[in-house]
Amino acid sequence: MATPVSVLRLPKGPDPNSRGFDPNSPRFVALCRTSISTSAAEADAKELQREQRARSALRERFLRCLLTMTNKKVQFHMHEKVDVEATFGASDIDVLNFQVSDLHTPIGVQKEALIRCQDVISFTFDM
């Protein structure tokens, strides 16, 4: 009777809450070019600290911006010179999609819609 080969564990399956591509994985850290380049290569601790503080500040500002935007009218400037206005609802966790209501488009008003974030260049709103 042949013995089945033993395994350490089963392969890990997908995470139901995210699309993956862990930004903390060694490969991501080594290969991903961010829009703001890191000085990680030089490993100057003081510089890194300053940079990390700046990154945290920017991230916090962005998240607060999303919170403030909730239920407000926002103008989205998108690719192909498209500008639309909608009432902002929420963002998904990876900032891939924005859930909006009353989206004004050149072909009419969409009651509920999802805007793909990669299509958005910038957005403005009155606080």
Partner 1 sequence: MAMRQTPLTCSGHTRPVVDLAFSGITPFGYFLISACKDGKPMLRQGDTGDWIGTFLGHKGAVWGATLNTDATKAATAAADFTAKVWDAVSGDEVLSLAHKHIVKSVNFTQDSNCLLTAGNDKLLRIYDLSQPEAPSQEIAGHSAAIKKALWCNNDKQILSAADDKTIRLWDRSSMQEVKMLTFETSVSSMEYMADGELLVITYGKTIAFYNALSLELIKTVEAPAPINSASLHPEKDFFVAGGEDFKLYKFDYSTKEELESYKGHFGPVHCVRFSPDGELYASGSEDGTLRLWQTAVGKTYGLWKCVLPGKSLFVSVYTFCLNKMVYCG
Q: Which residues bind partner 1 (CB under 8 A)?
A: 2-15, 19-23, 25-28, 30-32, 96, 118
DSSP one-letter code for 33:
P
Q: Please, what is the minimum distance in Å from the beta carbon of residue 127 to partner 1?
A: 30
CA distances from 99 to 13, 53, 54, 67 (A): 28, 30, 28, 13
Q: Please, what is the minimum distance in Å from the beta carbon of residue 68 to partner 1?
A: 26
Nearer to partner 1, 67 or 95 (CB): 95
Q: Please, what is the minimum distance in Å from the beta carbon of residue 11 to partner 1?
A: 3
